[in-house]
Amino acid sequence: MKKRLILSIISSTMILSAGESVPPVSHNDSLGSALQNGTFSANTRTFYFDRSFDKDGVDNATALTVGGIVKYVSGDLNGFKGGFAYYGSHRIGDLFSREEGKGTSILGRGGEDLAFLGEAFLQYDYGKTMFKVGRQQLSTPLMQNHDLRILPSVYEAAVIRNRDIENTMVEGGYVQRYTGFTSKDNRFNDYNNKWGDDGLAYLSFSNKSVNNLSMRGQYIKALSDTASDGSKIAVDDYRYFDAKYNLPMIGTGTYIKGQYGGNAYNNADDSTLLGAKVGTSVHKMVDVALLYDKISDNSFKAVESGPMYSDWQQGYGNYEASTAVGGQIVLKPLSDLSLKFGYVDVGSDEGNVRDDFSEFNFDGKYKINDYSKIRVRYSLKDQTDSSDREDRDDFRVIYYMNF
């Protein structure tokens, strides 16, 4: 019942938001011509990943794979278009074993290759309103593609997006299944044990109406508080808001940012996230920033990819009550080269022991030409003695080719 209700609301909103907009003019006069005039694209990656732990008895994780996304999107026919995409990650040679690849998240949970239909959607555009249903990537603060390995996360969803209000985007959606963190589930799973038996509905927005000010936010609601087995899920809702204000009178690229988030728990205290960040640019060659995040009362959870200023790697799990301070420097010695250095110190609060660490992070990117680039990432995570996690080093090299 709730699923039908939310889909009806989305559909009604799509019709009403179109208003007096002029319907799109099709450049194809038949389904055959729309299919014939479709476009293919390929976003490929060759990915080397090595994670080593500084503790005896804990297995390291290493893999070398090639993969990415091959996608087809049809031409427009009276506002309609469709698309589908192959998602894959395949081990290269026998240099590393399947067992070594299990913990890299660029192969499956058992170290197997990834290969599945990652996108299959139907899209309708009417004026400044878009309706899209099927397998697709999402881009919202608390539910996004989280594209930090070889494959992004993907969702089975119904989404409506409208831009009739100047400098404003409003999006509503319904989601129940997705491919998990970095798509390593190798299929679309029903997450009713976390999201409830009826899935999640959300409303998201972004706005740039005020000069130098940008805002965005999202609210996600579990439509049922119980899973299919009758047990009660932990989190009833997810909420987030942030704002960025540029300060051109102080200097080029100078800004202040603030963020708020939290969750309503069914049988526990609610959580709260507060954060701040300040930054500036020096001669357009150096960016510097300081940041702060505070999570209180309970763990803060995002559906996929945490938006915290202090989080550079995790982005998928719950974040314990903690206080984080840090900073980053981005060097741009060449127009096609950026070198980012970051450090964060996270201290657990209220007796928690997992999120208690310091981390150094390096992220270097070089654009080779219009269709390829290379990226090198390294992080050193030092857990405190009281933590139940291990110290670890991560090293990644990614070569991108896009056609």
Q: Residue 5: what pLDDT?
A: 43
Question: Closest Cα to residue 77, out of 123, 108, 110?
Answer: 123
User: What stretch of H or E contains 330?
Assistant: strand 322-334
User: Quick one: average pLDDT of 383-399?
Assistant: 82
- Please state the rounded mean pLDDT for residues 53-73: 90
Query: For residue 8, what pLDDT band results from cuts at 50, 70 and 90?
Result: very low
**What's the pLDDT score for residue 280?**
94
Q: Which tokens sit at 358?
A: 């310091």
Residue 53: pLDDT band (50, 70, 90) is: confident
Pick 148 or 361 by higher pLDDT: 361
Residue 53 main-chain phi, psi, to 5 deg: -110, 140
Three-class SS of residue 192? helix
At CB < 8 A and 24+ separation, what contacts does 224-227 make? 224/2, 224/196, 224/197, 224/198, 225/196, 225/266, 226/196, 226/197, 227/192, 227/193, 227/196, 227/197
Q: Residue 353 in 3-state DSSP?
A: coil
End-to-end CA distance of the chain: 44
CA distance 90 to 113: 5
Range in 16-25, 36-45, 189-198, 309-318 with the lowest mean pLDDT: 16-25
Q: Report percent pLDDT > 90 for the chain.
A: 73
Checking if the pLDDT of 174 tops 60, the result is yes
**How many residues are listed for the chain in this entry?**
403
List Cβ neighbours of 44 (8 Å cut-off, separation of 6 or more).
66, 67, 68, 400, 401, 402, 403
Residue 315 pLDDT: 52
Give pLDDT tens digits for 289-299: 999 999 999 99
Q: Note whether 223 and 238 are within 8 A (CB).
A: no
Q: Which domains does the chain have, with CATH numbers?
A: 1-233 (2.40.160.10), 249-403 (2.40.160)
Q: Which two tokens stand for residue 333?
A: 């010695």
Which whole number is the average pLDDT over 220-240? 94
Could you tell me the pLDDT band of residue 17, with boundaries at 50, 70 and 90?
A: very low
Residue type, 354: R
Determine the Cα–Cα distance for residues 146 and 374; give it in Å rounded to an integer. 19
- CA–CA dist 15, 358 (Å, integer): 50
Indicate the SS3 state at residue 193.
helix
Is 90 exceeded by the pLDDT of residue 235?
A: yes
Q: Whole-angstrom Cα distance, residue 111 to residue 93?
A: 14
Quote the CA–CA distance of 146 and 306 in Å, as a whole number: 9
Residue from 193, 261, 270 nearest 232 by CA: 193
Return all residues near 370 (Cβ < 8 A) that are at least 6 apart: none
Query: Given pLDDT bands bounded at 50, 70 and 90, which one contains residue 68?
Result: very high
Q: Nearest Cα to 262, choosing from 224, 231, 235?
A: 235
Half-sphere exposure of 339 (CA within 13 A, CB side): 6
- Write out the two tokens for 60: 């390291």
Task: Yes or no: say if 174 and 3 are a contact pair by the CB < 8 Å rule.
Answer: yes
Residue predicted with more confidence, 315 or 333: 333
- What's the pLDDT tens digit per position in 18-38? 444 445 555 788 888 888 899
Is the separation of the CB atoms in 394 and 383 below 8 Å?
Answer: no
Helices (H) and strands (E) in the chain, counts: 4, 19
Q: Is the pLDDT of residue 121 over 70?
A: yes
Average pLDDT over residues 52-78: 90
